[in-house]
Chain A
């Protein structure tokens, strides 16, 4: 959805300038998820489906409390339930709210070939513009978090919009609004980073989680969704959260050196062939020239 009140600072596959780049002083917005106070009630899942008017999506039972194995095109927000056995043999339940991370350097946007199918607003929200999407799926390849999901009927991609429509009107995202424990917070990136730091310190100093910390991976330029984790050294425990995510090397190689080499080679090749013709011309000028000397 295009948000008139939000300016755009990055556009996928766009060959011109970008209207909102460096034009505004705007807060980077950020969602803080404190996994240590999540009780897995799934209110945020319901709020997301409700606010975004998405159709019913059947649940898939997999011997856990988790609603389904992965997010879907119409289910953008999923609590991942992970049972972790600690060294002392006791059990720890790690629950993580999984959704688009709104990377500062989004791999999806980098990979997308369609002009304006993915945009990043000046407040940092990464949003898919389905009207411009061609359904190629390159964004799936670019994303390090397995977020964009394909709708086989509309042939377009969908994912969490961080409720860009609500945020542009000064509201917090629907999931934040619904959380009963206060484990979800929303505000400027600076404020959320500070709050997350304070909470992590509290966990280390007073609750015995010496490895508690904040997840805000630098490999993708930092994210618009940050986590407080009991054990920040092992984010993989939380349903495969990558410990050092970045845009896949193959995607970087494809979109930069390979693209430039290819373009230079193609243009150079065309020029080369043209110059060859100017210099040498055709091998034989007319059919008559082909006639072997003194013969046929």
Chain B
């Protein structure tokens, strides 16, 4: 069995009533800081993206306020994404099983989970999501800083502004797309996943169904016979 990153996953993590601790308090707290700030950034960002959604900014206290807060909340988002990196990056490396998993995506989409190769603590889709948010966070920060202080960019460096609007909007669109899938999976498709980032635990059955590799690590080979 491979040693894991920051937080060891061991049989002691099995808690009463056949549940496993999946996320520590730190992990959950950080997840919700990232989620809350992302949602605010997405809503205020979309208000500036299209006149059709400008009303969102009005509902959130007015567009001037949104313009003032968006970059600051962006910094909160970025810090929490960096902390998330220190927590989870070591578990997000792509392994051979992820390639197989990816090739079976059709089964996953059709809910044929019994035909999926055994994912570890994270499946290939979740790993991709993690990296897209990390890299997206870096790009959004870099381009966001240019948009934040746009009036200070000298005229002969104006290409920076042109680059920034495209990169910021493009990256925001990509991360919003991933975000929609992420929310759908966590809230609607995989019952039990939402509870894991709220209460921290999942049932043994959940672990066995969606993350068989991880399940084996936690309960040990013998226990699986149970």
Chain A residues within CB distance 8 Å of chain B: 13-15, 70, 113-115, 134-138, 140-141, 146, 149-150, 155, 248-251, 253-254, 258-259, 262-263, 265-266, 269-270, 273, 276-277, 280-287, 290-292, 295-296
Contacts and interface: CB of A to CB of B under 8 A. Distances in A.
Contacts of B190: 282-284
B7 interface: no
Contacts of B151: 137, 140, 149-150
Interface of B: 18, 47-52, 54, 63-64, 66-68, 109-111, 113, 147, 150-151, 155, 158, 161-163, 165-166, 169-170, 173, 176-177, 180-181, 184, 188-192, 203-206, 208-210, 226
Contacts, number: 130
A138 B165 CA distance: 9
A137 B147 contact: yes
What are the 7 tightest A-B residue pairs by CB atom distance, in nearest-first order? A250-B162, A290-B205, A137-B150, A150-B151, A113-B48, A15-B51, A13-B51
Contact of A15 (B52, B63, B163): B52
Nearest to A12: B51
A147 to B, nearest CB: 11
A284 B184 contact: no
Contacts of A276: 109, 184
B173 A140 contact: no
A198 B204 CA distance: 88
Given A284-B209, A286-B191, A291-B205, A266 B177 contact: yes
A80 B170 CA distance: 38
Contacts of B54: 13, 15, 113-115
B135 to A, nearest CB: 19
A284 B193 CA distance: 11
A292 B209 contact: yes
